[in-house]
Amino acid sequence: MTEDYYEEVLLLRKKVEKYETILKHAMAEKSGHFFICGEAGEKDSMIKHEPLFDTDKVCELYSKKDGVPITYVCTSALGDEAQAMDIFYRETPHPQFGNRYFGLYHNGNLMIANADRIEQAEFGLVEDDDGNLQYSAHRHDYKLFENGNMIDGGRAYIRSSMCEIKHYVVRDGEMVEKKDE
């Protein structure tokens, strides 16, 4: 009888964890938990982004303005800059400027920049205390977690606390795990 009770408690715990994950994904902009499409395995890896702007509003605004779907990709510097930008993607090149990625940031004013270089960048991601993956957005974005994992350097360099690092790149508007090339 005790074993049956224990089994039922474990089953309920798994259901609660599954519902928590569903809720986090359903409210991604508020929770910061985004599902990585195509990830195989029992545990879905989630990347926690820290956007500068309300990305849903930006996507809606630019989708209407440009007449094509716009999606949020990540918040990152493009190289060794000490400032990140929210990076967005469109499948077709912009008719006037020719870029598929653009970045928004503030420097006292709202700025927009060509962000096509993001596909040349590499991201080092480490697991945080909640099992989510996090990256350093720019060269001075140092992140240390209670589990001992640390990541730093943005796109300028990848420095960690000798923990497991997952390497990601951006391809066609999505962050994907880097394949050995």
Tell me the C-alpha distance between 102 and 166, whole Å: 25
pLDDT given at position 20 = 64
Q: Give the residue-averaged pLDDT of 36-43.
A: 37
Could you read off the pLDDT of 127-156 as tens digits, one per residue? 999 999 999 999 999 999 999 999 999 999
Could you read off the pLDDT of 52-104 as tens digits, one per residue? 999 999 999 999 999 999 999 999 999 999 999 999 999 999 999 999 999 99
Strand partners, 110: 106
DSSP assigned state of 65: H
pTM of the predicted model as reported, rounded to 2 decimal places: 0.74
